[in-house]
Structures are given as C-alpha cells and as structure tokens.
C-alpha cells in the first residue's frame, strides 16, 4: 500500500518495522526531544519558529524537527553500504529533491541504503547542524542490524553547505559541540567515507560562500570561529577517505574550497581523490548538460567500487 506523498512525509517512525508498508520511512533524530542548542543571535533563541516550509522545487526551510528519510537499495543488489545525504542550501534551506532524493535514487541502484538528513538551519545556527549530522551517524550505526547495513561501511555525502556539514562530520566527529549527554554519544560518530559535491570548506574571505558562513555562524562571528570552521584546518590522519567533486565554472563556491581540503588531506596522509571538471555550474546535481562533469556519478561509482564499498558484505 502506498500513501500520498504529503501524508507519507508527515508520518514519523522510530522503527523501520513500524513503517513496513511505506517505501521511505521517516525517522525522528531526537525522539527524546530536540536539543535546545541555538546560537544566541539566531531566530530560534527568540521563540517558536512556526511550521516547516516546503518551497518550490522540493526545497525545505524553517526546520525545527530533524529527521532521516530512508531510501532502500534495489532489492536485487543490497551490499551493506549506507550513506547519510546532506542536501545543500547555504544553511538556509535544504535542496531536498535535487541534492537529496536524486542522489538517494542513484545510490539505490548501486545497492546502497540512503538516509536523507533534514537538519536544523540558520534558525538555530551552530551547533545545531553539527549535532544533527553526528546524531544521524550514531543513530544509523547503532541500528545497523535493523537497517541491514554494515556499521563499518557508513558514509556521509553532502553538496555545497551540505558538503560543509558532511566534512564537519568527517573532521569534528568527536567534538564536544556535537554531543548532547545522551547515551548515543557513546556510539562512534566517525563516518567511514565522505563524498563532497562542490562543498563549502573554508570560512576565509574571498573563498567562502558568504551566505553559508553567516547562516551558520551569524554576523557576530569571531576570527577564531571562522578559523575553526575552516575545515581544512581540522583535517587529521583520522579524517575518512574522501571523494571531492567540483568545477572551475562554479562561481558561488570557488573550486579552491575543494583544493584546500584535498591539500590538507594529502598533507595529513588521509586517502583522497579529487575530480576538478571544467564545466558545470554550482548546484549542478545530476543534470546532464555539463559535459564530462555530468559523468561524475560514474567516477563516484568507480571510487566506491575500488574501495570495496559496492561488494556485498559477507553474511555471518
């Protein structure tokens, strides 16, 4: 039985067993209550935000109840790998359909289980998005048997500001700002790999995406905050293997963001692969009109296969 999309999206399940009748169960990230963490100058600090907004083009804004939406792998090829997807949107909204659903459908054909993250945004600011992505990793890993995935093959994929959030998961996975004194904090939050699509990486003037920086850190941010959230400064040898995809034509988030992260990964000895294409606008997603850049899913599939992530996990 299938439910209408709007009704289906309004149903929240704490167990996938509760949602056996629907294609894409929606799981609340914080069933015990959403943390009160909010930047002092953010709107949520002033009172309730009102209803979530669904905008044209499948964009979501004004998020106050973070969730994960599950996309199952194709029935004939599940391999045990899973990916949490962080849509872009400058930390001001989420490009849910273009940089969430499309990626999940592509990953499904590869046999990968996907979880689209609906995280808190500019209405909260830091540390809310970091808390949400790390809770997502911990929650999925803690319920790996339920989702029929390998807890050692859990990656995070993100685009634009979602790429900054994914890279934050890969560099700040044990940071105190991402914890909430819940029992799940004991679960390892380090992703096993990252896929970063035209990511915001640095907060440095002239290279960062100004809207993402302001939405995350606010207008009263300090130089110390900008340096801390310039994620090229947070890379260590423990940063997960990373695939970076960017283009020269990207005017919104310059390719130097990916270059800086790749250089930091190389210096730290963390495995990395980087595709810098000539053509392709920012937010290109899976559009077909950008020449070789539009073939990035093939390059990503090759990278996943080379790392053994598309080979089925041996059954016990």
Tokens of residue 16, six digits: 């996938």
pLDDT at 306: 98
CA distance 191 to 158: 12
pLDDT at 2: 36
CATH code for the domain in which residue 190 is found: 3.40.50.1820
Query: Is residue 274 assigned to a domain?
Result: yes
User: If we measure between CA atoms, which residue out of 168, 175, 63, 174 comes closest to residue 119?
Assistant: 63
Query: Is residue 276 assigned to a domain?
Result: yes
- Work out how many domains the chain is built from and give that number: 1
Query: Is residue 301 assigned to a domain?
Result: yes
CA distance 300 to 138: 24
Query: Is residue 183 assigned to a domain?
Result: yes
Query: Is residue 34 assigned to a domain?
Result: yes
pLDDT at 316: 59
Determine the 3-state secondary structure of 293 from DSSP. Answer: helix
Q: What is the pLDDT along the chain (316 residues), one digit of tens a residue?
A: 333 333 333 345 555 555 443 489 999 999 999 999 899 999 999 888 999 999 888 999 999 999 999 999 999 999 999 999 999 999 999 999 999 999 999 999 999 999 999 999 999 999 999 999 999 999 999 999 999 999 999 999 999 999 999 999 999 999 999 999 999 999 999 999 999 999 999 999 999 999 999 999 999 999 999 999 999 999 999 999 999 999 999 999 999 999 999 999 999 999 999 999 998 788 787 788 888 989 999 999 999 999 999 999 877 5
86: CB partners within 8 A, 6+ apart: 117, 119, 133, 156, 157, 158, 159, 162, 163, 165, 166
Range of the domain at 191: 5-306
Query: Maximum CA pair distance of the chain?
Result: 54
Alpha-carbon dihedral 284, 286, 291, 293, rounded to 10 degrees: 70
pLDDT at 53: 94
Query: Is residue 283 assigned to a domain?
Result: yes
Query: Is residue 160 assigned to a domain?
Result: yes
Query: Is residue 93 assigned to a domain?
Result: yes
**Do the Cβ atoms of 93 and 59 come closer than 8 Å?**
yes
């Amino acid at each position: 039985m299938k439910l209408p999309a709007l009704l289906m999206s309004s149903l929240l399940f704490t167990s996938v067993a509760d949602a056996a009748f629907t294609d894409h169960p929606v799981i609340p990230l914080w069933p015990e209550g959403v943390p009160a963490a909010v930047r002092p100058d953010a709107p949520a600090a002033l009172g309730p935000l009102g209803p979530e907004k669904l905008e044209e083009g499948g964009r979501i804004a004004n998020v106050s109840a973070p969730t994960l939406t599950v996309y199952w792998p194709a029935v004939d090829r599940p391999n045990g790998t899973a990916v949490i997807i962080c849509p872009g949107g400058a930390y001001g909204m989420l490009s849910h359909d273009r940089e969430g659903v499309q990626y999940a459908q592509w990953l499904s054909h590869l046999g990968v289980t996907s979880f689209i993250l609906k995280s808190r945004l500019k209405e909260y600011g830091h540390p809310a998005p970091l808390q949400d992505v790390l809770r997502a990793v911990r929650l999925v890993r803690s319920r790996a048997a339920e989702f029929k995935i390998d807890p050692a093959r859990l990656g995070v994929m993100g685009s634009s500001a979602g790429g900054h959030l994914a890279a934050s998961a890969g560099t700040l996975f044990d940071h105190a700002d991402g914890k909430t004194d819940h029992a799940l904090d004991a679960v390892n939050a380090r992703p096993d790999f990252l896929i970063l699509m035209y990511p915001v990486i640095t907060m440095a003037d002239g290279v960062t995406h100004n809207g993402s920086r302001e939405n995350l850190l606010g207008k009263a941010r300090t130089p110390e905050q900008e340096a801390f959230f310039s994620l090229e400064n947070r890379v260590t040898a423990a940063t997960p293997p990373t695939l970076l995809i960017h283009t020269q034509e990207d005017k919104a988030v310059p390719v130097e963001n990916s270059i800086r992260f790749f250089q930091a990964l190389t210096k730290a000895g963390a495995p990395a692969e980087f595709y810098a294409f000539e053509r392709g606008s920012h937010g290109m997603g899976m559009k077909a009109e950008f020449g070789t850049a539009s073939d990035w899913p093939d390059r990503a599939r090759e990278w996943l296969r080379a790392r053994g992530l598309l080979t089925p996990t041996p059954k016990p």
